[in-house]
Homo-oligomer: A and B are copies of this chain.
Amino acid sequence: SVRRKRGEVSNALRQVVLCKDTACKIGLRVKAVNKGVFVCLVTKGSPAALGGLRFGDQILQVNGVNLAGYSSDKAHEILKKASENNVVMVVRDRPFERAVTLHKDSAGLVGFEIRDGKIVTIAVNSSAARNGLLIEHNLLEVNGQNVVGVKDKEIGTIIQDGGNVITVTIIPSLIYDH
């Protein structure tokens, strides 16, 4: 598994070597966006999850085949046809991810509201406003903790319990919803 600093955004390239599970699955679904192939679902505890793949990662290569221009169906087929062991992938860490650091005000608020993980409101004169947080973005992490697929109420608790400085990593909803 890959270790990262809290809220770190690298956009780096890396190689991931996976072995399929006993059901011959990797635990990954992808979407094609702008001629790139992106991770849109990672099954908990799957080989993909254990290999450190995350929602929003761009898969560049599988076993030496460049996926640029592939449809999601064609990419799924490549993954399905790959041998059980040594599925070698080249991955770019979440190219659309950004980190924004916020500070709580005296009421303990950072100044944004979410609906289904998507930022829908920025409060006037809040830390979110001062730091240029944007709507039409989805939360990926809060203080380095994954919040993809986490309920809004739980995310609220994570922020509440997260101390005075909150680093959120976000991705444009356009990529998220595509």
Contact = CB atoms under 8 A, between A and B. Distances in A.
Interface of A: 11, 13, 33-36, 58, 60-61, 66, 68-69, 90, 92, 95, 98, 122, 124-125, 128-137, 172, 174
B95 A61 contact: no
B68 A122 contact: yes
* Copies of this chain, count: 2
Contact of A34 (B11, B128, B136): B136
Given A129-B66, A129-B69, A135 B60 contact: no
Given A69-B124, A124-B68, A60 B131 contact: yes
A13 B174 CA distance: 25
Given A36-B134, A95-B132, A172-B172, 10 more contacts: A13-B131, A35-B134, A60-B130, A60-B132, A66-B125, A66-B129, A68-B122, A68-B129, A69-B122, A90-B130
A40 to B, nearest CB: 16
Question: Ordered nearest first, which 5 A-B pairs have the shortest CB separation?
Answer: A68-B129, A34-B134, A34-B136, A66-B129, A60-B132
